[in-house]
Amino acid sequence: MDSSEIQKLANLAMIEIDDSQVSEVAARISDVLALVDQLQAADTDNVTPMAHPLDTVQRLRSDEVNEPNRREAFQAIAPESENGLYLVPKVIDAG
Amino acid sequence: MTWETVIGLEVHVQLATKSKLFSATSTAFGSEPNTQASAIDLAMPGTLPVANEEPFRYAIMFGLAIGAEIGKESVFERKNYFYPDLPKGYQTTQLAKPIVGAGEVEITLEDGSTKSIRIHHAHLEEDAGKSMHEDFHGMSGIDLNRAGTPLIEIVSEPDLRSAEEAVAFAKKLHSLVTSLGICDGEMSQGSMRFDVNISVHKPGTPFGTRTETKNLNSFKFMEEAIEMEVDRQIEELESGGVIDQETRLYDGDKRTAKTMRKKADENDYRYFPCPDLLPVVFDDAYVDAIKAAMPELPEARAARFKEEYQLSDYDADILSADAATSAYFEQLVKTSNDAKQSANWIMGELSAKLNAEEKSIKDSPVTAEQLGGVISRTQDGTISSKIAKQVFEALWDGKGTSADEIIESQGLKQVSDTGALEKMADEVIANSAKQVENYRNADPDKRPKMLGYFVGQIMKASKGQANPQAINKILIEKLNALL
């Protein structure tokens, strides 16, 4: 992992990595990737891919509304709100 | 050789469940901001998703309707990106193991030809919230009521070759999901949204580079956006340029489109299986039970309308396409007992009014029962077809609760009383010496046409309330007596 790859990842994850930390982070991520390489060497030809480590299935609930409106409590701990909306620094990008 | 357009669609369909996909919060449209945003929807620390069964049932219904393989084991993944209306920092969606596999949808084009469009797959996912950028002193306002609303995203193969085909396909999906009852189909509320992938190429050569125009929420905007983008790409290529792979935004109100982001800036979503959700598994018996309880689909309904009500192909197709229109039609036939007149009223007067006021038939101010009254009173001769339109307008404007009440209160009853009509005919004939003379001298073949003048005069005198058949009969007798 070179420093530009580390910075790209940091950017995607929205975390700040100082230039002085880059080499340490790169080394640690490289260790994890080495571990993944090792795992990938295992023969999995006859193994069904697993979506979750627990060997069970999702339980589903019935379609009922039972969450009350707790806007006041939630907005009391929000940094800023107005007319019922949460206010955040302006970001424009249509997803 | 001319350019060929290649289009693929990604369609987001909001499922009409009562509660959200992963929380028991209401999905009702139009509530006060953030009153339907629970701790799970807000991604409060320590919360976990609790999956709702209904969206799976709805997705399976859609899968069965398009002849797709149903994902017996379906898996959720996290699509990671940061945006304020997505509090978790990822959208819970499906990628490798979607609930609905490959299927097919048949579309009918204006010339009557049909074409089969392949569906790559359809997956379940949660909707994001809404951001508002105006009027918040430089900040953005976030409403998370929509966050977590269940969606199916339907992904087509690039089988569409024109804006017309794309619109026909979108309308067909609308017809399917409303007939299945899995979506309310309210386009103006964002219940169906389209992302359109567009490229052009010369037939026989590989597909061109495509662009994606996102978030179109009406058939009209979609058609305009496609036509504009196709023109732009052809112009670019013919002047020696290249098409960049990019995401574009179309502004339907301004009729302009612009680049939103280039490929280099595309998000890298880093999908991975969601550890908070186990695989969702359905057995054959579950899917079979849904299959056994499937509602009537548009094709079957069209066939039934032709058979049961003797409608033409054209009428049957139009009236059966949309579940709400079909329901209105059948209710109307029940009260009016006249399928042809019911069809004509819905496709004529009613559609025109609804379109003009941008209302959906579900919100029609004139109910099927009320309109049925108008048709019945026309058939039994109480009012003429011209007055019927007046009664319809009055019902629309809320000037009465039934056709009978309006006919009574506004005195619109048709005059069929022979004595009164004869008197009017005598007066008109007495005052129209010249026209009577012409009538007498005219070739007998031409006379029926010349009756129009006299009928018109009597209609005028009676304020439109004279019974036209009765007048005709009386006039012919009286004029022929003068020959």
Listing DSSP states for B59-116 in one string gives: HHHHHHHTTPPB-SEE--EEEE---TT-TTSEEEE-SSS-SB-SEEEEEE-TTS-EEE
pLDDT given at position B464: 78
Check: CB of residue B407 under 8 Å from CB of residue B391. yes
Domain that holds residue B326: 296-409
Is B254 within a domain? yes
- For B416-442, letters b (16+ CB in 10 Å) and e give eeeeebbebbeebbeeeeebbeebeee
In this prediction, residues B194-199 reach a mean pLDDT of 98
pLDDT given at position B163: 97
Tell me the pLDDT tens digit for each residue of B271-298: 999 999 999 999 999 999 999 999 999 9
Residue B300 and residue B281 share a domain: no
Residue B179 and residue B37 share a domain: yes
Q: Chain A residue closest to B58 (CA)? A: A63
Tell me the pLDDT tens digit for each residue of B313-326: 889 999 998 889 99
Check: CB of residue B165 under 8 Å from CB of residue B115. yes
Q: Which residues contact B106 (CB under 8 A, 6 or more apart)?
A: B114, B115, B116, B117, B172
CA–CA distance from B162 to each of B3, B11, B118, B159 (Å)?
Answer: 11, 17, 15, 10
DSSP string computed for B447-461? HHHHHHHHHHHHHHH
Q: Which residues contact B16 (CB under 8 A, 6 or more apart)?
A: B58, B181, B182, B183, B184
Is B303 within a domain? yes
Is A61 within a domain? no
Q: Could you give the CA distance from residue B270 to residue B272 in angstroms, rounded to a whole number?
A: 7
In this prediction, residues B166-186 reach a mean pLDDT of 95
- Is A62 in CB contact (< 8 Å) with chain B? yes
Does residue B412 register a pLDDT over 50? yes
Residue B133 and residue B23 share a domain: yes
Contacts of B193 in chain A (CB under 8 A): none
Cα-Cα-Cα-Cα dihedral sign, residues B350, B354, B355, B357 = positive
Domain that holds residue A12: 1-42
In this prediction, residues A48-62 reach a mean pLDDT of 88
Check: CB of residue B366 under 8 Å from CB of residue B350. yes
Give how many domains chain B has, as a whole number.
3
In this prediction, residues B455-480 reach a mean pLDDT of 83
Residue B308 and residue B270 share a domain: no
Q: Of A55-64, B220-229, B458-467, where does mean pLDDT reach its minimum? A: B458-467
Show the tokens assigned to B283: 């057995």
Q: Of A5-19, B16-30, B191-205, B409-423, where does mean pLDDT reach its minimum? A: B409-423
Res. B264 pLDDT band, cuts 50 70 90:
low
SS3 A92: coil
Residue B214 and residue B81 share a domain: yes
Check: CB of residue B211 under 8 Å from CB of residue B245. yes
Selected residue with higher pLDDT from B20 and B470? B20
Cα-Cα-Cα-Cα dihedral sign, residues B112, B114, B120, B123 = positive
Res. A93 pLDDT band, cuts 50 70 90:
low
Is A63 within a domain? no
* Nearest by CB: A69 against B35, B51, B75: B35
Residue B160 and residue B103 share a domain: yes
In this prediction, residues B106-126 reach a mean pLDDT of 95
- Is A84 in CB contact (< 8 Å) with chain B? yes
Mutation target for B interface from A11, A72, A88, A92: give the one with most B CBs within 10 A. Answer: A88
Percentage above 70 pLDDT, chain B: 99
pLDDT given at position A95: 45
Record: contact A63-B52, CB cut-off 8 A: yes
Tell me the pLDDT tens digit for each residue of B378-408: 998 888 888 899 999 999 999 999 999 999 8
- Is A41 in CB contact (< 8 Å) with chain B? no
ipTM of the complex: 0.88
Record: contact B53-A62, CB cut-off 8 A: yes
Check: CB of residue B247 under 8 Å from CB of residue B211. yes
Q: Which residues contact B64 (CB under 8 A, 6 or more apart)?
A: B70, B287, B290, B291, B294
Tell me the pLDDT tens digit for each residue of B230-246: 999 999 999 999 999 99
CATH of the domain at B469: 1.10.10.410
Is A8 within a domain? yes
Tell me the pLDDT tens digit for each residue of A6-53: 998 898 888 999 989 999 999 999 999 999 999 999 999 998 888 888
- DSSP run (H or E) holding B369: helix B368-379
Residue B324 and residue B380 share a domain: yes
Q: Could you give the CA distance from residue A4 to residue B143 in angstroms, rounded to a whole number?
A: 36
Show the tokens assigned to B33: 């901001």
pLDDT winner (highest mean) among A75-79, B248-252, B407-411: A75-79
Give how many domains chain A has, as a whole number.
1
Residue B334 and residue B274 share a domain: no
Does residue B440 register a pLDDT over 90? no
